[in-house]
Amino acid sequence: MFIPNTLEDQKIMLAKTGAKDIKELLAQIPQEFLYPALDLPKALTEQELSAHVQELAAKNKPLKNFIGAGMYEHFIPAAIPALSSRGEFLTAYTPYQAEASQGTLQTIYEFQSCMCALLNMDVATASHYDGATAMTEAALAAHRITGRKEIVVSTLLHPHYKEVLQTYTRHMGITWVEAKVTNDGVLDLEALKAQLNDQTACFILQTPNFVGHLEDAQAISSAVHSVGALLVAVVNPISLGVVQTPGEYDADFAVCEGQPLGNPVSFGGPGLGVMTAKKAYVRQLPGRMVGIAKDKDGKRAFVLTLQAREQHIRREKAASNICSNEALCALNAVIYLTLLGPKGLKEVAQLNLERAHALAEKINAKSGFTVNTKTPFFNEFVVQCPIPAAEVIKKMEAKGIAAGYDLGRLCPQMKNCLLVCATEMRTPEDLQAYVDALGGI
Partner 1 sequence: MQEILKNELSIEKSRPGRRGVCFAQTQKQAADYLPAGLLRKSEPNLPQLSEFDTVRHFTRLSQQNYSLDAQFYPLGSCTMKYNPKAYDVLSALPGFANAHPFAPESAVQGTLELAYNLQELLKKVTGLAAFTLQPAAGAHGELTGILTARAYHDTHNGQNRTEVIVPDTAHGTNPATANMAGYQVVNIKSAPNGCVDKEALKAALSEKTAVVMLTVPNTVGLFEPEIKEIADLVHSVGALLYMDGANFNALIGLAKPADFGVDIMHLNLHKTFAAPHGGGGPGSGPVGAAAHVAPFLPHPIVSLKNGQYTLADERPESQNRMKAFYGNMAVVIRGYCYLRQFDKDMLKTIAQNAILNANYVRACLKGKFNAFFDRNCMHECVLTPPDPHTTGVHTSDIAKRLLDYGFYAPTIYFPLIVPEALMVEPTETENKEMLDAFVAAMEQIYNEIQTNPQVVKDAPHNQPVKRIDEVSAARQPNLRW
Which candidate, 84, 95, 111, 163, places its Cα nearest to that of 273? 111
Site for partner 1 in 399-438 (CB under 8 A): 402, 405, 424
Burial of 99 (0-12, 13-18, 19+ CB in 10 A): exposed
Residue 347 binding partner 1, by CB under 8 A? yes
Residue 349 binding partner 1, by CB under 8 A? yes
Q: How far is the CB of 413 from partner 1 (least distance, A)?
A: 20
Residue 19 binding partner 1, by CB under 8 A? yes
In contact, 329 and 265? CB cutoff 8 Å: no
Site size for partner 1, by CB under 8 A?
195
Residue 22 binding partner 1, by CB under 8 A? yes
The number of C-alpha atoms within 13 Å of 58 and in the hemisphere containing its C-beta is 6
Alpha-carbon span 356 to 381, nearest angstrom: 8
Q: H/E element holding 300?
A: strand 300-304
Exactly one of 184, 397, 411, 432 binds partner 1 (CB under 8 A); that residue is 397
Segment near partner 1 (CB under 8 A); pick from 92-100, 196-204, 222-230, 381-389: 92-100
Site for partner 1 in 178-217 (CB under 8 A): 214, 216
Exactly one of 351, 383, 392, 431 binds partner 1 (CB under 8 A); that residue is 351
Alpha-carbon span 80 to 210, nearest angstrom: 28
Which candidate, 352, 124, 373, 361, places its Cα nearest to that of 239? 352
Burial of 183 (0-12, 13-18, 19+ CB in 10 A): exposed
Please state the φ and ψ torsions of residue 147, each to the nearest 5 degrees.
70, 10
Q: Which string of x and - marks every residue 363-392 that binds partner 1 (by CB under 8 A)?
A: -------------x----------------
Site for partner 1 in 153-172 (CB under 8 A): 158, 160-161, 163-164, 166-168, 171-172
Site for partner 1 in 72-91 (CB under 8 A): 73, 75, 77, 79, 81-83, 85-91
Site for partner 1 in 277-316 (CB under 8 A): 282, 288-297, 299-301, 303, 305-308, 310-316
Residue 102 binding partner 1, by CB under 8 A? yes
